Amino acid sequence: MLYYLFEYLDKQLNVPGAGVFQYITFRAFAAIITSLGIAAIWGKAVIYRLQRLQIGEEIRDLGLEGQMAKKGTPTMGGFIILLSLIIPTILFAKITNVYIVLLLISAIWLGAVGFADDYIKVFKKNKDGLSGKFKIVGQIGLGIIVGGTMYFNDYVKVRFFNADQTFHDSKSLLTTVPFLKDNQFDYNMLLPDFIPDQYVWIVYILVVIFIITAVSNGANITDGLDGLAAGTSVIIGIALAILAYVSGNKVISQYLNVMFIPYSGELAIFCAAFVGACIGFLWYNTYPAQVFMGDTGSLMLGGVIATLAIVIRKEMLIPVLCGIFLVENLSVIIQVAYFKYTKKKYGEGRRIFLMSPLHHHFQKKNYHEAKIVTRFFIVGIILAVLSLVTLKLR
């Protein structure tokens, strides 16, 4: 909203200095500072309110050191992240930009799904929370919205370079394959020859649904130690901010010979607000946590990250960039599958990990919670750097 105000002040009234709002970098810095401020100020008030309402986390005794000491810690802290993300985005981004609108919808949509889960757990005293099938329905719904917008909206297009280094517009469903020189992949290639290309949108939306579901669930599973999900999201958010800025800048994208996505540079402002909101939440969520984000935050974080990657055509980079989420997801899948297999074959279930998700395995090995989180952060930083290196390493 402020962008349009300062645009009027600059172009119509010629107010000195008003033109600074035209720069994405300035608005991104303003967004991150604002989101940090909101999280710091609003966070304390939210925690106090949650404590007064006695909205505490129900802790199941899993035999983990220090676990029961967390009983009664307020949950639903995801509201801190949500508000600190939405307000700066509305203030500093171009809210008519389809990508910004899509990301705001993604945040609110999965935030609402997560809130429903937390509400049932806390107020209805049902430890199972929202039924898994309803969570899936919510994720599928968002996948249809994101996939449909990316395919049918005329505002969405990409530009790539011909051999003579001239731009060529494309409405086709192109994406980026990391580590390859000719790194453009068209989703039309997934269709069999006997199916017309006009039906590729069905395949594309199914892929988008899978990505959003996988990443949001991965973030949800990762949210098991103080600061782990929020800190990991900060690292991923910074990498996505850089990728979004590069993809939306005609000069830089041409220099790096990467896909140019018109208007996507505006997403750097959303990413800045996202990073600021997560850092602000970490102020209260680092060990020992004063508040938990709950599903209100964790489902939203994963869904936003997935949507960001899809919008800037970097969804094939998710296994690297979101490697922490991927490994946490896989540890649960492997543990459950192996347990069922051995129970059927030997009559008793056996386990590969001492406990899943993976962070609980290290807790069982008597690693301190803070050490586990810090080492996961280090791995996350390495993966983020590797993701950024793909801009040149092809």
Q: Which residues make up each annotated binding site for Mg(2+)?
A: 220, 295
Rounded CA-CA distance 381/329 in Å is 19
Cβ neighbours of residue 300 under 8 Å, at least 6 residues apart?
A: 78, 81, 82, 106, 107, 110, 111, 114, 216
Contact call for residues 233 and 219 (beta carbons, < 8 A): yes
Residue 171 CB neighbour total at 10 angstroms: 11
Residue 262 CB neighbour total at 10 angstroms: 15
Contact call for residues 390 and 317 (beta carbons, < 8 A): yes
* Secondary structure letter of residue 286 according to DSSP: S
Q: What residue numbers does the annotated binding site cover?
A: 220, 295
The residue whose two tokens read 């800190």 is: 231
The residue whose two tokens read 């002040």 is: 9
Answer positive or negative: Cα dihedral of 323, 233, 225, 86. Answer: negative
Q: How many helices and strands in the chain, by DSSP H and E? A: 14, 4
Structure tokens at 116: 């429903």
Contact call for residues 263 and 188 (beta carbons, < 8 A): no
Contact call for residues 221 and 357 (beta carbons, < 8 A): yes
CA triple 241-243-248, angle to 5 deg: 95
Contact call for residues 284 and 47 (beta carbons, < 8 A): yes
The Cβ-side half-sphere exposure at 289, using a 13 Å CA radius, reads 34
